[in-house]
Amino acid sequence: MLLLRDAELMTAIFEMSGEAILVADDSRRYVAANPAACELIGRPLADVLRMRVGDLGLREDRPRVEKAWAALMADGAKTGERVLVRPGGERRYAEYRVRANIRPGLHVSMLRDVTDRVLAERALEAVQAGPDARYRLIAEHASDLVLLVSERGLIEWVSSSVTAATGWNPDELVGHTTAAFLDESQLLVVEEHRRKLAQRKTFRIEMPVLTRHDGPRWMEFTISPVAAPDGTDPGWVGTVRDIQARREAEEALRVSRDLMAAVIGATDEAVYAKDTVGRYILYNAVAAGALGKTEGDVLGRDDTELFAPDEAAEIIARDREILAAGVTLTVDEHLTLADGRSHWLLSTKGPIRAADGSLMGLFGVSRDITDRVAAEEALRQSERRLRELYQGVDSILFHRDGDDPSVVLNPSAARMLGYPVDRLGDRAFWDSLVHPDDIARAHAAWAADRSGWDMQYRLRRADGTWVWVRDRANRTYNEDGSVERVFGFVSDVTEFHAVEEQLARANRLESLGRLASGLAHDFNNVLVGIGLIADWIQHHPADPGVSEEARGIIEATARGKQMTRALLTFARGGTAANQRTSIADFVQENGSLMQRLLGRSIELSVHTEQGLPEVDLDQTGFSQVLFNLAVNARDAMRNGGSIRIDVGQTELCGAAAASLEVAQGHYIHISVTDTGSGIAPELLDRIFEPWVTNKEGEGTGLGLATAYGFARANGGSITVQTEVDTGTTFHLYLPVRQRPATRA
C-alpha cells in the first residue's frame, strides 16, 4: 500500500543526498543504506544489510562504539568521528551525525568522508617530523591507488595500496603496460583517452580493472599529464579509486526503480499521485481502466474533470485534510466508476515530501472493496438471524473457551431448568443438578472422548422435578494439544423417555416368550446337573455319601425355583432384591455344583483373595452369570480342558474407568478363563448382543447378553479377551459400594 511513497523517499534520499545515510534498528543491525553509504563503506548493499553498527570499524574500537550507542539511546542524538575499515583493510575516516528513533525503533546515521582532511593533517605533522617519517606516513595511510606511467605506457611506480585494491604486488606491476591489467573491452577506450592526454588535460574515467582473485572490478581513474623539467612529456600520473560497490549500488538502485515501476504497473490496485494543486502526475493502468480511460487521458487533470461534482468535492476536501495533517491515512471512498455503478474503495493516502521536507504532492493506493462490503452486510444479517435463533431455540446452547471453567449458555437454559443462566454457567452448580445415579456415568463420558460426547442423564429443575436431557458436544484443539473450545447443546428428552418406558412395558409381554426360551437354556443347565447327580445315586445306592449328594439335588432344585421367580418378576415389571454378598464365598460354594455340571473332562479351579469386601447384588442373577460363563467355556472345550475362576479386588481410575464406561473407584474383579477354541474375530464386536452365538446349531445367544445386562445394571462392566485355538477370558467388574452407617 505504500509503494509510491517508498519510491519517492528512495528518490529524494538515496539519489539526491551526497552524504552517506545508514538506517539501523534497535538490534543495531543496518536495515537500509543509500549508494553513497555503500561507496564509503566499500561494500555492496546486500553485504551492508548483514552488518551491525560495530562491524564497520576497527575491532578494538567496538567497546567505544557500544558506549556511544548507549549514549545515543539516552540523549537522542550523537556526533563524532570514526574509522571505517573497507574490504582489504583500507581505512577511511568519517564524521557522523546520528539521530535516534526518527521512527520507533529506527535510527539514522549520516556520514561524510573526511579521509583527505585527516591525511592532510597527518601529512603536515609528518613534514614537521622529517622526510623519512613523511614517506612512511604516506605509504601507510594513502587510501587511493597512485601510479606513475611513462610516455611509452609502462608502469614506473605504483603505491603499496595497490595490493589491497587489486591483489597484485607493486613489483608485479612495474615494467608492464596498463593495458595488461584492463578488460579487453576497454582497450579502445584507452586509445581514446590517450588523445586527451596529448592535449595535456586532466580528466576522469571509469573502467573495469583485472584483479588477481576477484576478476574485473570497476575503478575510477583521475589522470593528469606529468611534464619533465625540460618541458617534454614523460608520461602521466593517476589516482585510482575502487568504485565497484558504488556501481553495484547504482545497478541495484536501477533494478529497484525498474522493479518498482513494474509493480506499480502490474498491481491490481489503483496507484496514483497528485501535485500540490491536485493535478494527477501518476495514474497506473488499473486506476485509468476503472474510469474507462487511458493513463494519458488522466495525467494533468484534477478530480473535478473525472468525477461527479459531489464526489470530486469530497475527494478534494479529504486530500486537503491529509496534507494539512501531514500523515498517511486509510479511508473509505464512495465513487461512481466507468460501469455506471457505485463502488466502495479502500484508499490509503499520504503526503510526498522531498529530502528537505518540502511538500511535493500526495500519493494514493485504492482497492475496490464493493464485494467485501456487500459480503460484510450479508454477514451482519446472518449474524442477526443467528442471534435470534440463539435466543429463541428450545434447546440449551453452550460453549466454553480453553481452560476457562465458566460456560456460556443461551436463555433457554433458564426456561428449561428454572435457574438463572449465570448460575447454570458454573460447572460445579451444574454437576449438583445431575441425578446421583447418573453423575459417575456423566463424568466418565465428559472425560473419555477427545472429540466430544453424546449422552443422556437426568437434571433436577428448580421446582424439584427431574428432566431427562440429551447432552451433545464437540471439542476443538490448538496445535499444542490444549483444548481450544467446547461447544454443544442440551435437549429435553423427558417425553421421549416416558414413551420409551411405556413402549418397553408394552413389549415386555411380547418378548416374554423369547426370554422364556433363553431361561429354558439356563434352566436346562440346572436340570443337567440334577440328572448327573441322580444318575450317580442310581449307580451307588449303598454309598454313605448319598445324603450329601441328595442335598446337591435339593440345592439345584431350589435354584430352578429362583429362576422361575426371576421370570415372574420380570413379567410383572419389577426388579429382583439385592442381598449383601461375599462374592469370594459365593463362588467357592457354587464351585462343586459347577464341577458336576461341567463333567469329568473339565478341570475347574477357583482362586480368591483374602479379605475381599462384600457387595450388594442379586444372588440369583449372579449365579446365572457364573453358570452361563462356565457352560460357555465347557462348550468351547469339546475334548476337555480346564477352567480357572479368579476373584480379587482392583481400583479403576482415569482412562481405565473411562474405557469400561464406569465410575472411578474400587471393584470386585471376577475372571473366568478357559483353554478352549476361542471366539471368531468376526463375532467379537457383537458377542454381548442377544441371539448372537458361537455354537453352531446350539444355544440361544442369550447367555452372554444376560451377563452383560447384569453387569451394567449393577454399575459394572464385562469384557472379553480371546485367541483362536488358545482360549478365552471373561472379566467381570462389580462395584464395591459402602453401606451407610446405621444408628445403634
Range in 115-119, 212-216, 718-722 with the lowest mean pLDDT: 115-119
**DSSP labels, 335-352:** EE-TTSSEEEEEEEEEEE
CA angle 314, 376, 319 (to 5 degrees): 20
- Would you place residue 60 in the very low, low, confident or very high pLDDT band (cuts 50, 70, 90)? confident
pLDDT at position 137? 45
Q: What is the pLDDT of residues 614-665, one digit of tens each?
A: 888 888 788 888 888 988 888 888 888 999 999 999 999 988 888 888 889 9
pLDDT above 90 covers a percentage of the chain that reads 9
pLDDT at position 192? 66
Query: Regarding the domain delimited by 3-117, which CATH topology (the fold level of the hierarchy) does it fall under?
Result: Beta-Lactamase (3.30.450)
pLDDT at position 7? 44
pLDDT at position 537? 64
pLDDT average, residue stretch 317-336: 88
- Would you place residue 133 in the very low, low, confident or very high pLDDT band (cuts 50, 70, 90)? very low
Phi, psi of 481 (to 5 degrees): 90, -10
Domain ranges of the chain: 3-117, 144-248, 267-373, 393-492, 576-735
Sheet of 452-460, strand order: 408-409, 396-401, 483-492, 466-477, 452-460
441 vs 658: CA distance, rounded Å? 9
pLDDT at position 5? 42
**Domain 267-373 matches domain 393-492 at the CATH topology level:** yes
Range in 232-241, 404-413, 535-544 with the lowest mean pLDDT: 535-544
pLDDT above 70 covers a percentage of the chain that reads 73
76 vs 69: CA distance, rounded Å? 10
Q: What is the pLDDT of residues 139-179, one digit of tens each?
A: 344 556 777 887 777 888 887 778 888 888 888 888 888 77
Burial of 459 (0-12, 13-18, 19+ CB in 10 A): buried
Q: What average pLDDT does the chain have?
A: 77
Q: Does domain 393-492 have CATH number 3.30.450.20?
A: yes
- Would you place residue 719 in the very low, low, confident or very high pLDDT band (cuts 50, 70, 90)? very high
Query: Regarding the domain delimited by 576-735, which CATH topology (the fold level of the hierarchy) does it fall under?
Result: Heat Shock Protein 90 (3.30.565)
437 vs 457: CA distance, rounded Å? 9
Angle between helical axes of 619-635 and 703-713 (0-180°, round to 10): 140
Q: pLDDT: is 408 or 14 the higher one?
A: 408
pLDDT at position 732? 95
pLDDT average, residue stretch 78-87: 88
pLDDT at position 605? 93
Q: Is the pLDDT of residue 513 over 50?
A: no
- Cell numbers given for 305: 474533470
Q: Is the pLDDT of residue 524 over 60?
A: no
Q: pLDDT: is 84 or 233 the higher one?
A: 84
pLDDT at position 413? 79
Element (H, E) at 288: helix 285-290
137 vs 131: CA distance, rounded Å? 10
Q: What is the pLDDT of residues 561-620, one digit of tens each?
A: 555 544 444 444 444 567 888 888 989 888 877 887 788 889 999 999 988 998 888 887
225 vs 235: CA distance, rounded Å? 6
Strands (E), 191-256: 203-210, 216-226, 235-242
pLDDT at position 4? 41
Element (H, E) at 437: helix 436-448
- What are the residues whose beta carbons fall under 8 Å from the beta carbon of 46, sequence distance 6 or more? none
72 vs 68: CA distance, rounded Å? 6
Q: Is the pLDDT of residue 16 over 60?
A: no
Phi, psi of 337 (to 5 degrees): -105, -170
Element (H, E) at 287: helix 285-290
**Which residue has 425355583 as its cell numbers?**
561
Phi, psi of 569 (to 5 degrees): -60, -45
Q: Is the pLDDT of residue 322 over 70?
A: yes
**DSSP labels, 151-183:** TTSBEEEE-TTHHHHHS--HHHHTTSBGGGGB-
3-class secondary structure, 230: coil
pLDDT at position 140? 42
Q: Which residues pair with 176 in a beta bridge?
A: none
pLDDT at position 175? 85
Strands (E), 494-591: 579-581
pLDDT at position 740? 44
pLDDT at position 647? 95
Q: What is the pLDDT of residues 290-306, one digit of tens each?
A: 888 888 888 888 999 88
Q: Which value, to the nearest 10 degrees, does the dihedral of the CA atoms of residues 577, 578, 584, 590 take?
A: 10
Q: Taking a C-beta distance cutoff of 8 angstroms, is the pair 476, 484 a contact?
A: yes
Q: pLDDT: is 42 or 388 the higher one?
A: 42
561 vs 567: CA distance, rounded Å? 10
Q: What is the pLDDT of residues 38-56, one digit of tens each?
A: 888 898 888 888 888 888 8
Q: pLDDT: is 172 or 238 the higher one?
A: 172
Buried b (16+ CB within 10 A) or exposed e, 327-336: ebeeeebebe
pLDDT at position 643? 94
Q: Which value, to the nearest 10 degrees, does the dihedral of the CA atoms of residues 288, 291, 293, 296 take?
A: -40
pLDDT at position 332? 87
Q: pLDDT: is 721 or 161 the higher one?
A: 721
Q: Is the pLDDT of residue 555 over 70?
A: no
Q: pLDDT: is 370 or 404 the higher one?
A: 370
**DSSP labels, 631-671:** HHHHHT-TT-EEEEEEEEEEEE-HHHHHHHT--SEEEEEEE
- Would you place residue 270 in the very low, low, confident or very high pLDDT band (cuts 50, 70, 90)? confident
Q: Is the pLDDT of residue 288 over 70?
A: yes
End-to-end CA distance of the chain: 87
Phi, psi of 98 (to 5 degrees): -125, 135
Q: Is the pLDDT of residue 14 over 60?
A: no
pLDDT average, residue stretch 317-345: 86
3-class secondary structure, 225: strand
CATH code assigned to 267-373: 3.30.450.20
pLDDT at position 56? 87
Residue 364 DSSP code: E
Q: Is the pLDDT of residue 136 over 50?
A: no
Range in 256-260, 363-367, 690-694 with the lowest mean pLDDT: 690-694
- Cell numbers given for 56: 564497520
Q: Is the pLDDT of residue 460 over 80?
A: yes
Question: CATH homologous superfamily for 144-248?
Answer: PAS domain (3.30.450.20)
